[in-house]
Amino acid sequence: MAYSDNLNKKQLEAVMHTEGPLLILAGAGSGKTSTMTHRIAYLIKEKGVDPYSILAVTFTNKAAGEMRERVEKLLGGPDTLWIMTFHAACLRILRTEAGLSGYTRDFAVYDPVDQKAVIKNIIKEYNIEEKNFPYRMLISVISKCKEAQHSPEDYRKIYEKNFNTETIYRVYKRYEEVLKKNNAMDFDDLLLNAVRLFRENEEVLSKYRKRFRYVMVDEYQDTNRIQYRLIKMLAEEHKNLCVVGDDDQCIYQWRGADISNILNFEKDFPGTKVVKLEQNYRSTGNILKAAYSVIKNNTKRKPKKLWTEAEEGSKIIYCRADDEKAEAYYVAQEIDRLCGPGRSFSDFAVLYRTNVQSRTFEEAFSARDIPYRVIGGTRYYERKEIKDMMAYMRLVQNPDDDISLMRIINEPKRGVGQKTLDKLKALASVRGQSLFSVLGDEEIMDSLQGRTGRELKGMHDAVKSYSIEKDDLKISDIYDGLLVGSGYIKALETQNATEADGRIENLMEFKSVIYDFEKEAMGEEAPSLTGFLEKIALLSDVDNHDPSENAVVLMTLHSAKGLEFDFVFMPGMEDGLFPGWRKLDEPDEMEEERRLCYVGMTRAKERLCFTGAAYRTMYGRGDYTRESSFLRELDPKLTDGDAIFRKREEVRLGEKVDLDGFSKEEPLRPFEERFSGSGNANILRKAVSEVHEKSEKKESFIAGDKVAHSKFGTGLVVSSQGKVITVIFDKAGTKKLAADIAPLKKIKE
């Protein structure tokens, strides 16, 4: 086979080096899959290696399937070699050696849904307060323990004994007992038990070492410590270990990937040959140079620099807009302009750091009739936490809305079981009342067991109070009150998990939507809760495209790895957003953020555009921003468009605008001179804190107090019963008000 016809010099060098450890540093778009598949074919067809002796592992079924298909094409048919994921390889080994692993051959593999069910049953069995020990947190801790090869007893010894440690230990121990009793393993067990099998059974390890003379690993930079140990054990005898990866694309340390595995490969495997695949077949010269000008600032990396025979191409575009809305409309306009004959919307991608950012782009694309699809996430207004809070707000607007109540009656968890719910619904039916009215019956609530009755009553009272005052309160104040009064945000805060943090971010970002509506409505009529709910309903229902449709792709930078697009937009290039505010003061975290930036940049084939906002409203707070430190690392010779683009005052949501809706002004002053704000770094923390503080600032009223109301004027409190006060106003007459939330202040004499 004429391998030289399909491979460049370095690829061919990697293919033909078959004996001893080999590290292939494969840069983005350098043809690593082609190199790996040709190497397997070369071993079999040219070197006469039995396919039975080859093991090739990767991380996804998609990658394994693509590799297997290419190998079969090169060989002229299917073969017996193992090309599969780490988990699939371990599963096959464990089933074969089931008798030695303590499981029968037909053991079950529990997926995340099964894990959830087991953990929730244990929580119930041990009467654990789930709000203090959410199942997601418990699963996360157990997974990290298994990755570190720590048993429940190890966990107990490592961490200081306290209530939390003991509780997690009991859950972990019981979880393992349940799995063993049910002859089941979770995904972490597949790796852990394979390593344990090899460690405790020398004959079994020797059997697989002898069999797999050649071991190959794809995306080696993404391996964790237990995967590293598994590979090292298997390759120890023949030492023919070939790993392919790119330390510059290690972006999954947050889920266990250990970059030291690839950085220390030569030390761990003496005699390693290193081959660098630096010729890029994807991007233009300017894109590659720009990407290098950023990634070269990392200290923990192997020296390499991508190059291409392609033309230099367009310079990197940078647009710093007035605000996040102008940023989104600029991107929408550019896509409209560039998507001419011979182009399709699927050629364009918007790659952002966090899912929160999708909202403004979804709105801008909808306004310009640009089809889009969200990958790796849910449309902003379809996210569970947003739908939940919308249900609370609809219930404030209409307490008889049983559909909305059914959605949130147990969100957050209040211990409402199906039997309890059925009884309440039956009672509502008999009485001819709404379900919400039944929840207002104190006798019924008192009859419910402890926590359930208390929390349902608390939720009912909070919603009712805001329903009474809805016409006199700002929408943003209603929203803040519901976040706290429902217990929703507190429940997320106690989870202390990455997923929960993302939901809190989305909930805080929703305040920006509310503030925008309040500002826009001021010029026409007083902003009302009804008007806001109607607007969101219209936005949520449009543009529900099929995934196969021709559409602009919206996705996070993490989700974009391994993909490519003709045109790539990277918004939110501001310190505090990208890089994230938690990363700014941590050198290792900053290096991973920089790698993520590099991954995003190298997804672009023809054109790369960075955008940012001079003033950004996030989580209901606005502040001036500082340009991303990654932008300051770019070679200025490679960039264009260093200017502010200002949105015309008359541009509104839903209005189509021409490119001249943005005007290029004089070049920006040096960064140090133009920074005037604290940026995004503390916005989230301040936003959450303000929500809590607002709920704590309560004034008590007694009969005889003189008060002032923002709508009804001055008056006198004549009675105070619990949370309800009666006030006789000078002009508005007698009113009953919810003391906690009514816009009411004492008049000091």
**Residues marked as catalytic:** 32-33, 218-219, 249, 603
Where do runs of H (alpha helix) occur along 318-448? Answer: 324-338, 358-367, 384-397, 402-408, 418-431, 435-439, 442-447
Q: Which residues pair with 482 in a beta bridge?
A: none
Cis peptide before 51 (omega within 30 of 0): no
Q: Report d(CA 13, CA 495) in Å as an integer.
A: 50
Tokens of 49: 């290696």
Q: Are 639 and 295 in contact (CB under 8 A)?
A: no
Q: Which residues contact 714 (CB under 8 A, 6 or more apart)?
A: 706, 707, 708, 729, 730, 747
For 729, residues 6+ apart whose C-beta sits below 8 A from its C-beta are 709, 712, 713, 714, 715, 735
What's 30's DSSP letter?
A: S
Q: Which two tokens stand for residue 248?
A: 């510059």
How do 273-277 and 22-26 pair as beta strands?
parallel
Give the integer Cα–Cα distance in Å for 288 and 285.
5
Residues 644, 662: Cα–Cα separation, whole Å = 9
Beta sheet of 744-746, edge-to-edge order: 733-738, 724-729, 713-721, 706-709, 744-746
Q: In whole angstroms, give the CA distance from residue 394 to residue 379.
A: 20
Phi, psi values for residue 739, rounded to 5° = -60, -35
- In whole angstroms, what is the distance from residue 168 CA to residue 142 CA? 9
- Residue pair 498/254 in contact by the 8 Å Cβ criterion: yes
Q: Is 107 helix (H, G, I), strand (E, B) or coil?
A: coil
What are the backbone angles phi and psi of residue 683, rounded to the nearest 5°? Answer: -60, -50
**Which residues make beta-bridge pairs with 729?**
715, 733
Residue that has been written with the tokens 């502040």 in this structure: 623
Rounded-to-integer distance, Cα 189 and Cα 176, Å: 10
Angle at 609 between CA 606 and CA 614, to 5 degrees: 175
The DSSP line for 207-234 is: HHHHH-SEEEESSGGG--HHHHHHHHHH
Residue that has been written with the tokens 């003991």 in this structure: 166
d(CA 578, CA 251): 14
Q: Among residues 343, 325, 129, 94, which one has the least CA distance to residue 230?
A: 94
The answer to whether 715 and 709 have CB atoms below 8 angstroms apart is yes
Phi-psi region for residue 556, left (φ > 0), alpha (ψ -120 to 50) or beta? Answer: beta
